[in-house]
Every structure is written in structure tokens, then in C-alpha cells.
């Protein structure tokens, strides 16, 4: 059995899932604060040098897993691994946020899409070497999104 512990929690303006913008073209500009637990503060050394961060978090209020579902942006069913559905076998979320500033164990960020109080499992600097012309968007391109 895998056992994970949160490194912190995120504070966001979102109290319910209906408040979080979803789907292609959704704008994620909301600001929030990643509150890192004090025992992990040393792990934040030099994080200020990065403009963006990956946040690995838990869909702690998601329902039961659904392997196939119809996303709100299409009328066709798709497998959970081809969507960003929260109803996953392992309810793990991944978000890229913009780092605004650090205040001790608090990281002020923009681009949050998680609910207030969501557990954060990990924080990593965002680095991408995939050229935009090589990216493919699967069924989302087919659906015109």
C-alpha cells in the first residue's frame, strides 16, 4: 500500500466544484496560497527563481472512480486517462501555477483550479522542453476545442 502525506494545503477562492472554471478555453487566473507545512520549509530553498510550478494535489472531495465518462466539453464518452476528470482510480490532480512571491512557508500563486483546503502532495519547478509544434491534444482537437 502506498502512503502519502500532504506537504501542505492550498487556500483558494473556490468552495464548490461548480465555481472552478472547466473545459477548453477556461481561464485560470484566480490567486491562492500554498501553505507548506513548517517541517518542509527547507525544501522551498531557491524556489523563488522559478516563474511557474507544478502542483501535485489530491481530489479529496471527488466521487467514486468512473473509467469512462462524457466530459462537459464533448458529447462522446472518453476513458478517464484521456480526460482531466477528478473521478480517477487514484484521485491525483496536476496544475501549473505562476509563482507570484514567497513569504516563509506561504507561496502566493496565480492559476489555481482546486478547492479551498485541498491537500498538496508535491511542488516541482515547471520545466518543459516539448516544442509547441510537437504537442497533440487528442480528442479535444477532434471536438474543435
The 10s digit of each residue's pLDDT in 99-120 is 999 999 999 999 999 999 999 9
DSSP string, 67-109: SEE--TT-SS-EEGGGS--S--SS-EEEEEEEEEEEETTEEEE
The 10s digit of each residue's pLDDT in 7-28 is 999 999 999 988 888 766 777 8
CATH of domain 8-18+27-127: 2.40.30.70
For the whole model, what pTM was predicted?
A: 0.86
Domain boundaries, the chain: 8-18+27-127
Amino acid at each position: 500500500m502506498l502512503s502519502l502525506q500532504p506537504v501542505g494545503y492550498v487556500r483558494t477562492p473556490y468552495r464548490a466544484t461548480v465555481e472552478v472554471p472547466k473545459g477548453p478555453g477556461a481561464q485560470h487566473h484566480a490567486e491562492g496560497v500554498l501553505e507548506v507545512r513548517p517541517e518542509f520549509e527547507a525544501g522551498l530553498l531557491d524556489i523563488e527563481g522559478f516563474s511557474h510550478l507544478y502542483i501535485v494535489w489530491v481530489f479529496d472531495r471527488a466521487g467514486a472512480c468512473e473509467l469512462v465518462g462524457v466530459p462537459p466539453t464533448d458529447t462522446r464518452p472518453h476513458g478517464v486517462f484521456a480526460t482531466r476528470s477528478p473521478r480517477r482510480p487514484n484521485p491525483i490532480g496536476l496544475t501549473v501555477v505562476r509563482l507570484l512571491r514567497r513569504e516563509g512557508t506561504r507561496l502566493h500563486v496565480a492559476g489555481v483550479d482546486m478547492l479551498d483546503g485541498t491537500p498538496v502532495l508535491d511542488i516541482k519547478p515547471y520545466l518543459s522542453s516539448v516544442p509547441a509544434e510537437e504537442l497533440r491534444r487528442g480528442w479535444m482537437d477532434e471536438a474543435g476545442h
